[in-house]
Amino acid sequence: MKKLLSIIMVMAIAASFIYAGGAQEVAPADEDMKLVLLVKSLGNGFFEAVADGGQEAAGELGNVESIYQGPSSSTAEGQIEIIETLIAQKVDGIAISANDRDALIPVAKKAMKAGIKVISFDSGIASGGRIVDLAPSDEELIGRQQIELIAELCDYKGQVAVVSATSQATNQNAWIEWMKEEIKEPAYKDMELVEVVYGDDASDKSYREAVGLMEKYPELAGIISPTTIGILASAKAIEDEGKKGQVQLTGLGLPSEMKQYIENGTCQQMALWNPVDLGYTSTYILYALATGAVEGNPGDVIDCGRMGDVVIGEDGISIMGTPFVFTAENIAKYAEIF
């Protein structure tokens, strides 16, 4: 793991950048620049923390309005509709956590043609549909780490299953592919990834899917839920089914939401990054693009306030850092922040 981490850090630093943007349009100085954070769906604490980061950045930048938007459920259609409206409103930039990496390309291209700077963050749009994709961490690292975390909890034995977000989510799908790679390693020869189910980042559906897994696999040893909504619903499902201690749980969870389950041992360890930083950095990147401070050329370095310089990498991808791991030891501290 240490070796992988250092390789990734070197990759992140050495990365170069390809620009795919359109004509520049700078907001007149007397008007607020409108920078939008368009999330997968509303009602998700993770994205509310992202919005806080957007507000923080807007406060520092001055003459910036940070606008938070999202559909009521995590669908590409809902996001497309919102982007059409944002084009008509002539906003200056949109940072999108995509519900589908390909389906958003045409509308994103339309926005860029209209002079709006489009980036993706958290869950990427494929190249051609955004200038920059800001990833919270390296996909491979996240996926492999999830298997390591559950293996430690299950003593490297037994059946594990995944409660994911939507079946089209760029980020979860990429992480799951790396989970499938990692579990092929000899250390996990006594483990099996039996099924991936989709809770659609909706609490009720995630809960039902987690219960369904425990009914279908009575010997299930662990659930990995790489979504903040899914892991919370899975924790509740494990407790309600009386499976605490028998079915282990890990994934990507928001410390403020998962604190009680980390402290009572239902989920002994999980990972995540800081969503406030993600919204803050996305807003700084949009600002740099919309003001013309950078065009997004290979190797561009963007001043992102308290996050320091962000280097735009190959294919527009920029990687922020490494996930934190939360346990009963440190959860209280982080739960106060996000």
Query: Side chain identity at 101, as an amino acid letter?
Result: R
Taking the least distance from each CB to ligand RAM, the nearer of 46 and 287 is 46
The Cα 244–Cα 261 span in angstroms is: 10
CB of 83 to ligand RAM, least distance (A): 18
CB of 295 to ligand RAM, least distance (A): 28
The Cα 13–Cα 19 span in angstroms is: 18
Residues 231-270 that bind ligand RAM (CB under 6 A): 252
Q: Does 123 bind ligand RAM (CB under 6 A)?
A: yes
Q: Does 101 bind ligand RAM (CB under 6 A)?
A: no
Q: Does 97 bind ligand RAM (CB under 6 A)?
A: yes
CB of 32 to ligand RAM, least distance (A): 28
CB of 44 to ligand RAM, least distance (A): 5
What is the secondary structure of 302-326 as a DSSP string?
Answer: EE-GGG-EEE--GGGEEEEE--EEE
The residue number with the shortest CB distance to ligand RAM is 46
Cα–Cα distances (Å) from 284 to 5, 56, 178, 293, 325, in that order, read 26, 10, 30, 11, 26
Indicate which single residue of 75, 120, 168, 228 sits in contact with ligand RAM (rule: CB under 6 A): 228
Indicate which single residue of 17, 46, 178, 217 sits in contact with ligand RAM (rule: CB under 6 A): 46
The Cα 82–Cα 84 span in angstroms is: 5
On whether the CB atoms of residues 115 and 291 are closer than 8 A, the answer is: no
Angle at 275 between CA 272 and CA 276, to 5 degrees: 140
Q: Does 171 bind ligand RAM (CB under 6 A)?
A: yes
Where helices occur in the chain by DSSP H, the ranges are 2-14, 45-61, 76-88, 105-113, 139-154, 170-182, 203-216, 228-240, 255-263, 275-290, 331-335
Taking the least distance from each CB to ligand RAM, the nearer of 122 and 133 is 122
Indicate which single residue of 56, 92, 100, 122 sits in contact with ligand RAM (rule: CB under 6 A): 122
Indicate which single residue of 56, 138, 139, 201 sits in contact with ligand RAM (rule: CB under 6 A): 201
Taking the least distance from each CB to ligand RAM, the nearer of 33 and 108 is 108
Angle at 114 between CA 112 and CA 115, to 5 degrees: 65
Site residues (CB under 6 A) for ligand RAM?
A: 40, 44, 46, 97, 122-123, 165, 171, 201, 227-229, 252
